Amino acid sequence: MGMIKEFQEFAVKGNVVDMAVGIIIGGAFGTIVKSLVSDVIMPPIGKLMGGVDFSDLFINLTDIQYESLAAANEAGAPVIAYGSFINNVISFLIVAFAVFLLVKGINNLKKKEEEAPAAPPEPTKTEVLLEEIRDALKARG
Host H or E run for residue 59:
strand 59-60
The whole-angstrom separation of Cα 1 and Cα 5 is: 6
List Cβ neighbours of 138 (8 Å cut-off, separation of 6 or more): none
**Distance in Å from the first CA to the final CA of the chain:** 68
CA 67, CA 60: separation in Å to the nearest integer?
A: 10
**Separation of alpha carbons 22 and 102, rounded Å:** 13
Flag whether pLDDT at 111 surpasses 70. yes
Angle at 88 between CA 56 and CA 39, to 5 degrees: 65
More confident residue, 7 or 135: 135
Q: Which fold has domain 2-140?
A: 1.10.1200
Extents of the domains making up the chain: 2-140
- Segment 53-104, tens digit of pLDDT: 778 889 999 999 999 899 999 999 999 999 889 888 888 888 888 888 888 9
Q: What is the mean pLDDT of the chain?
A: 85
Question: Where are the alpha helices (H) located in the chain, listed in sequence order?
Answer: 2-12, 15-35, 42-48, 69-75, 82-115, 125-140
